[in-house]
């Protein structure tokens, strides 16, 4: 069954680490073993790409760019429409691979592929809406306008936890904006990348005006692939999604050559639970956001800031749900929490829990599960940690299902606790008090890129911009006008008069 899925997605036992368009290059880097976190089984071996492959991919992208930028944007949208059609056709297979390689449950994997389709549909519409402004000129007989032009090859770096959707957020937009893409996926999920790349290339093969170097894939680690990609002068934009540590390294390299970077990095997302909150609704939202995806979303809820009057009640409710939640093989019906990605994730989780314990926190759950789950995978019970907000570990993003619970007395105090972390991605308030909700969303409220009311922190739709402030990196991907990051803006002033008046009334008679 599984082999069938892999073979329908064009994945063999030995896979090249560099694809330029439909062509697999003969790579000679370190071998990468693609494993399933479900049971640690080897799925395939990839020969990683190196600096030479990166530069070949960038050269091909640059060549493709010279042609693609001249293809009218709505026609570029046609390529994205074809990709979306294939994604619809292969949704089940691709989702099965996402589950196999990232460990997320079937429903969430299908949701992730749906997110790709959604952003592709969005991008198709966008291909007819790359609007610029016209501007009133201060000079008579003059007209001013802005145009948005294609930018050039875009380097896209993605993480294991959304192994397909984040590439689509970037690539579907980049394609309609007129930019080729060079993709460096996580080494933990290389097969998802190969599958997506092949799907996109098969759609491109249907379009004679889609140049061959438009899409490429370079699989390898930060040193072999990430660094040369970020350093390459022919890549005007690097879009990186992942840890703050990774983003800082990428941004530094890109900044040195004054390249642009679009960063969507760590989150340490908080939810304020007000006394008027609907606790049934809040419990469901908190469990999905804190324990769903085994706590491995950048939007995962990590901090629950509960009013003193409802804190004990919510902890009781969460403990009840956590005690019965089904943890195990993510392919099994009824399972809501699959494995952590690897042993290192479990070590990170134990380290964080030990730090919390030392600081006097009360911990519920958080243990490793051995019975009733596949051997070879890392399965854990999500943890609820009652802790003070000033304990340093609370300020860190630990990529595991740990929910720190803290209490507050007044809303300003809750907002202060909420904002007192280095990250600023997603946030939420649960309240039935309109004033509290508005205060949380106001300039004096949450300092995050995403702020929700009566909805958890995770599971955003693609229509809005996605990203956040502070150590989250400040970039915005996906919907709204995030497309502007993938284009260059040019201001045009056109004189249709027979005079040459200078701006600001300057006279300069020659
Ligand atoms: C991520 O974890 O990097 O809002 C992206 C969400 C998803 C995207 C998460 N739509 O949780």
3-state secondary structure 269-316: EEEEECCCCCHHHHHHHHHHHHHHHHHCCCCCEEEEEEEHHHHHHHHH
- Rounded average pLDDT over 397-419: 98
Q: How confident is the model at residue 341 (pLDDT cuts 50, 70, 90)?
A: very high
Which ligand 1 atom sits closest to the C-alpha of 458?
Answer: 11
Pairing of strands 379-380, 260-264: unpaired
List, in sequence order, every beta strand (DSSP E) within 297-443: 301-307, 362-365, 368-369, 379-380, 383-386, 402-408, 423-424, 426-430
465 CA distance to ligand 1 centroid (A)? 12
Tell me the angle at which helices 91-102 and 73-89 cross, rounded to the nearest 10 degrees: 70
The 10s digit of each residue's pLDDT in 439-472 is: 999 999 999 999 999 999 999 999 999 999 999 9
Does the pTM surpass 0.75? The reply is yes
Q: Which pLDDT score is estimated for 28?
A: 93
In whole angstroms, give the CA distance from residue 244 to residue 251. 10
Cα dist from 319 to 325, 416, 478, whole Å: 10, 27, 35
Q: Whose CA is nearest to atom 7 of ligand 1?
A: 459
In whole angstroms, give the CA distance from residue 229 to residue 224. 9
71 CA distance to ligand 1 centroid (A)? 32
Structural contact between residues 417 and 424, judged by C-beta atoms closer than 8 angstroms: no
Which ligand 1 atom sits closest to the C-alpha of 300?
Answer: 11
pLDDT above 80 (res 32): yes
Q: What is the mean pLDDT of the chain?
A: 97
- Rounded average pLDDT over 92-96: 98
44 CA distance to ligand 1 centroid (A)? 27
Structural contact between residues 281 and 246, judged by C-beta atoms closer than 8 angstroms: no
410 CA distance to ligand 1 centroid (A)? 30
Query: What is the DSSP code (8-state) at residue 337?
Result: B
- For residue 10 the two structure tokens come to 């064009």
Produce one character per residue of 346-375: b if its CB has 16 or more CB atoms within 10 Å, e if not. Answer: bebbeebbebbeeeebebbbbeeeeeebbe
The 10s digit of each residue's pLDDT in 286-334 is: 999 999 999 999 999 999 999 999 999 999 999 999 999 999 999 999 9
Q: Whose CA is nearest to atom 3 of ligand 1?
A: 298
Q: How confident is the model at residue 263 (pLDDT cuts 50, 70, 90)?
A: very high
Query: What is the DSSP code (8-state) at residue 486?
Result: G
Q: Show the CA angle centred on residue 41, arms to residues 39 and 43, nearest 5°.
A: 135
Q: Whose CA is nearest to atom 6 of ligand 1?
A: 459
The 10s digit of each residue's pLDDT in 212-248 is: 999 999 999 999 999 999 999 999 999 999 999 999 9
Look up 196 and say whether it is catalytic: no
Which ligand 1 atom sits closest to the C-alpha of 264?
Answer: 3
pLDDT above 80 (res 348): yes
| Nearest in space to 178 (alpha carbons), one of 53, 328, 77, 289 | 77
Tell me phi and psi for residue 330, to 5 degrees: -65, -10
Q: Report helix, strand or coil for 484.
A: helix
| Nearest in space to 190 (alpha carbons), one of 315, 318, 9, 418 | 9
Which ligand 1 atom sits closest to the C-alpha of 115?
Answer: 10
The active-site residue, picked from 264, 386, 397, 436, is: 264
* Non-local CB neighbours of 280 within 8 Å, separated by 6+ positions: none
The active-site residue, picked from 192, 196, 298, 448, is: 298
pLDDT above 90 (res 14): no
Q: How confident is the model at residue 2 (pLDDT cuts 50, 70, 90)?
A: confident
- For residue 211 the two structure tokens come to 């140049």
Query: What is the DSSP code (8-state) at residue 131?
Result: -
pLDDT above 90 (res 356): yes
Which residues are near ligand 1 (CB < 6 Å)? Answer: 115, 161-162, 166, 241, 297-299, 458-460
Structural contact between residues 276 and 431, judged by C-beta atoms closer than 8 angstroms: yes
466 CA distance to ligand 1 centroid (A)? 8
Q: How confident is the model at residue 1 (pLDDT cuts 50, 70, 90)?
A: confident
pLDDT above 90 (res 3): no
Pairing of strands 154-157, 181-184: parallel
First-residue to last-residue Cα distance in the chain: 81
Which ligand 1 atom sits closest to the C-alpha of 159?
Answer: 3
Which ligand 1 atom sits closest to the C-alpha of 299?
Answer: 11
- For residue 24 the two structure tokens come to 């697999």
- Rounded average pLDDT over 189-208: 98
Q: Which pLDDT score is estimated for 132?
A: 97
Look up 298 and say whether it is catalytic: yes
**Ligand 1 pocket mutation pick from 110, 117, 162 by most atoms within 8 angstroms of CB:** 162
Tell me phi and psi for residue 478, to 5 degrees: 75, -120
428 CA distance to ligand 1 centroid (A)? 15
Q: Report helix, strand or coil for 465.
A: strand
The 10s digit of each residue's pLDDT in 143-181 is: 999 999 999 999 999 999 999 999 999 999 999 999 999
Q: Which pLDDT score is estimated for 362?
A: 98
- Rounded average pLDDT over 400-413: 98
442 burial type by CB count under 10 A (0-12 exposed, 13-18 middle, 19+ buried):
exposed
Q: Which pLDDT score is estimated for 13?
A: 87
**Ligand 1 pocket mutation pick from 110, 449, 460 by most atoms within 8 angstroms of CB:** 460
pLDDT above 80 (res 479): yes
Structural contact between residues 290 and 268, judged by C-beta atoms closer than 8 angstroms: no
299 CA distance to ligand 1 centroid (A)? 6
Percentage of the chain beyond pLDDT 70 is 100
């Amino acid at each position: 069954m599984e082999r069938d899925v892999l073979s329908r997605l064009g994945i063999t036992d030995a896979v090249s680490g560099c694809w330029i368009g439909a062509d697999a290059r003969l790579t000679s880097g370190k071998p990468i073993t693609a494993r399933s976190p479900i049971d640690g089984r080897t799925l395939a071996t990839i020969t990683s790409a190196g600096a030479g492959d990166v530069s070949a991919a960038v050269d091909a992208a640059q060549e493709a760019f010279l042609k693609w930028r001249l293809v009218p944007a709505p026609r570029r949208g046609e390529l994205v429409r074809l990709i979306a059609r294939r994604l619809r056709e292969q949704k089940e297979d691709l989702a099965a691979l996402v589950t196999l390689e990232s460990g997320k449950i079937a429903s969430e994997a299908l949701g992730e592929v749906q997110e790709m389709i959604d952003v592709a549909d969005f991008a198709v519409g966008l291909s007819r809406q790359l609007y610029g402004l016209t501007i009133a000129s201060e000079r008579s007989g003059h007209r001013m306008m802005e145009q948005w032009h294609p930018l050039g090859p875009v380097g896209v770096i993605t993480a294991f936890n959304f192994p397909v959707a984040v590439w689509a957020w970037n690539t579907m937009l980049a394609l309609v904006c007129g930019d080729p893409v060079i993709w460096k996926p996580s080494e933990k999920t290389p097969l998802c990348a190969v599958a997506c790349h092949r799907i996109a290339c098969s759609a491109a093969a249907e379009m004679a005006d889609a140049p061959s170097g438009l899409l490429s894939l370079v699989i390898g680690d930060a040193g072999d692939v990430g660094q040369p990609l970020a350093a390459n002068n022919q890549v005007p934009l690097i879009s990186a999604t992942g840890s703050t540590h990774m983003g800082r390294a990428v941004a530094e390299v890109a900044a040195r050559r004054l390249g642009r970077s679009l960063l969507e990095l760590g989150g340490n997302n908080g939810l304020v639970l007000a006394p008027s909150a609907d606790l049934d609704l809040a419990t469901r939202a908190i469990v999905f956001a804190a324990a769903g995806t085994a706590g491995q979303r950048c939007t995962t809820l990590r901090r629950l800031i509960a009013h003193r009057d409802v804190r004990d009640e919510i902890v009781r409710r969460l403990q009840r749900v956590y005690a019965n939640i089904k943890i195990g093989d993510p392919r099994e019906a009824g399972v809501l929490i699959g494995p952590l990605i690897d042993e290192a994730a479990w070590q990170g989780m134990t380290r964080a829990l030990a730090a919390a314990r030392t600081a006097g926190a009360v911990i519920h759950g958080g243990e490793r599960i051995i019975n009733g789950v596949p051997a070879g995978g890392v399965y854990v019970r999500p943890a609820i940690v009652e802790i003070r907000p000033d304990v340093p570990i609370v300020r860190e993003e630990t990529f595991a299902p740990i929910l720190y619970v803290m209490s507050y007395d007044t809303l300003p105090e809750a907002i202060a606790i909420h904002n007192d972390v280095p990250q600023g991605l997603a946030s939420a308030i649960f309240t039935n008090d309109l004033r509290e909700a508005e205060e949380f969303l106001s300039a004096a409220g949450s300092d995050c890129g995403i702020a929700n009311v009566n909805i958890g922190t995770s599971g955003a739709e693609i229509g809005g911009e996605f990203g956040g402030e502070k150590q989250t990196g400040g970039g915005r991907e996906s919907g709204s006008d995030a497309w502007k990051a993938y284009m260059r803006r040019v201001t045009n002033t056109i004189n249709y008069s027979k005079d040459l008046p200078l701006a600001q009334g300057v006279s300069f008679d020659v």
